[in-house]
Amino acid sequence: MKQSLTIIGNKNVRVNALLDSGASTSYIDINLAKNLGYKIFKNRKHTITLGDGSTIVGYDVPIVIKVRGRIKPLMTVAIPVPEKLVLGHDFMQNNDIIIDYTKEKFKFSKRIPKNIRRLRLWRWKTMTKYSKHLQGIGEVPAIKNNKLRIGDRLVYNFGYIYKIVGVRKLSEKSKVYKLMSEEDGELYDRRFMNYGLTAVVDENNKYIQER
């Protein structure tokens, strides 16, 4: 079954993605990922066994897609694939997808996902603590952005860690932090609103719950 959607990159590309419940992981064509300007993490590789028994090496590529009016982050593995994009079981599970095989269509479930219900319960029990949902990880403790400081190690979707190496005040409500990727040492500037929440880990990779 195929679904028309948009991959958002340095340019937006409309593709017919293959929805494959038999694939445990989602895949993107490696040449398409490069053309859209996505970063290919070659230190995070996977060995994929193809239908004919041969194997191929793929690499993690986090992308963003727009489907049915919803923008979704998606972790994919980049390999040469003719379908350009394959949405696997991970996509269906993380987004509560309901498939109608008779009409060859899918839709997002209208019920509140389990992770949101757990988050609400967790906040109700702790009251004074905060949490954040990270794609590929789940609910984790978080702190307010106005408590961030140089040297903090920030955790993003799928467990990528960035260290704060610089900061400048943008306004009374926001700051721009210079982040260094612990994967490859590249530097990025990112704006943070003071009221937002961010997951932070210490040098032992334990989440900081309060500050």
Q: What is the DSSP string of 120-151?
A: HHHHHHHSS-EEEEETTTEEEEEEEGGG--TT
Which residue do the tokens 């593709």 mark?
A: 15
Residue 101 pLDDT class (50, 70, 90 cuts): low
Q: What is the pLDDT of residue 176?
A: 93
In the predicted model, what is the mean pLDDT of residues 153-172?
A: 91
Strand partners, 22: none
In the predicted model, what is the mean pLDDT of residues 11-24?
A: 88
pLDDT digits (tens, 9 = 90+) for 26-52: 999 999 999 998 888 888 888 888 777
Task: Write down all domains in the chain, each with its CATH number in brackets.
Answer: 2-108 (2.40.70.10), 114-201 (2.30.30.30)
